[in-house]
Amino acid sequence: MDVLGSGHEQVVFCSDPESGLRAIIAIHSTALGPALGGTRFYPYASEAAALADVLALARGMTYKNSLAGLDLGGGKAVIIGDPRTDKTEPLLRAYGRFVEALGGRYLTACDVGTYNADLDVVARETRFAHGRSEAYGGCGDSSVLTAYGVFQGMRAAAQHCWGSPSLAGRTVAVAGVGKVGSWLVGHLVEDGADVVVTDVDPAAVERLQARHPGVRAVADTAALVRTAHDVYAPCALGGALDRETVAVLPARIVCGGANNQLATPEVARQLIERGILYAPDYLVNAGGVIQVEDERHGFSFERAQAKASGIFDVALRVFQEADRAGIAPAEAADRLAEERVRSVGRLATIRLPR
């Protein structure tokens, strides 16, 4: 992979053989501010696979933070390994020292395989770890507002498609009921939606159905995408929307919490051809970064939730701009994000007195 031609400002490979740390930190842009993005702990098949993932995720964070109206750039980190067996205090603290060495260019937080308690450990070595536990003055579980933002985006999509910002009476298929998916299901059930789910972890489904007995479950994603539904919500790992999946998808709307849902750029056009409205992932799942960013100012859940509610209005604007310009919503969202990076980011060239 041509890292130098990827458009990223900085890519750092981190290694500490004694603790077993193998990590990559990618900073895509600091035009709007320090690069904020979570740390993913995942057993990648190879370093090349980890690099490809972190580069895509970091770029997505630039767009996410811009469209959310935050004064933050985009970055991401991945730790290569199985979090169930490889995660230790020395490894997390070694990682924290690499984050600290970047001097604040990169701000880290939780992602797949990392939790608030892990960031508490990382923070023992760096000032730039956020999304910490409430016991340490942090914002707690950022998946709470991630799911809330996805729900707001889904409400906006319903408004655009059906003239009402409600999922009542609609069937929503949720793929992945982990941290974000389980909270999203709660909002959907409360709104009156019929919900069908799947997850690779049967225990996650069991926990969800214990809280929401009316939720149905199917064996796997292949079965889920063929189940009759109005809205498809990918809430697991990226690449969920490939040509084969979209070809059989019965949904009118796709809106979920996973990052990088489009397996290839061409899938955006395929969704339009099939009459499926796609709510861009980095737009609707920005509630988590809004929650984490608020921690930097002395966390207020109410303030962060109020800001995350704005995802509804931004999503409507994206859908309307896509219709007006005759382009995919993903392209419309990209344009809005890029324009803010250009127009606000250029202000850094105006020198201020010291």
Percent of the chain with pLDDT over 90: 89
Edge to edge, the sheet with strand 194-198 lists 216-217, 194-198, 171-175, 231-234, 253-254, 277-278
Beta carbons of 343 and 73 less than 8 angstroms apart: no
**Both ends of the chain: CA-CA distance in Å?**
41
Percent of the chain with pLDDT over 70: 99
Does residue 2 carry a pLDDT above 70?
no
Residue holding tokens 């914002």? 139
Q: Residue 341 is encoded by which pair of tokens?
A: 């990076």
- Tell me what the mean pLDDT of segment 343-350 comes to: 87
Examine the residue annotation and report whether 64 is marked as an active-site residue of this protein: no
What local confidence, expressed as pLDDT, does residue 302 receive? Answer: 96
What local confidence, expressed as pLDDT, does residue 4 receive? Answer: 65
Q: Is 89 buried (19+), middle (13-18) or exposed (0-12) by CB count in 10 A? A: exposed
What local confidence, expressed as pLDDT, does residue 350 receive? Answer: 84
Average pLDDT, the chain: 95
* Alpha carbon distance 61, 341 (integer Å): 12
pLDDT digits (tens, 9 = 90+) for 116-150: 999 999 999 999 999 999 999 899 988 899 999 99
pLDDT digits (tens, 9 = 90+) for 246-281: 999 999 999 999 988 999 989 999 999 999 999 999
Q: Measuring CA to CA, which residue among 36, 260, 295 is closest to residue 141?
A: 295
- Cβ–Cβ contacts within 10 Å for residue 126, how many? 21
Q: pLDDT confidence of 50, banded at 50, 70, 90? A: very high
Q: Indicate which residue of 64, 76, 87, 307 is catalytic.
A: 76
| 326 dihedral zone (left: phi>0; alpha: psi -120 to 50; beta) | left
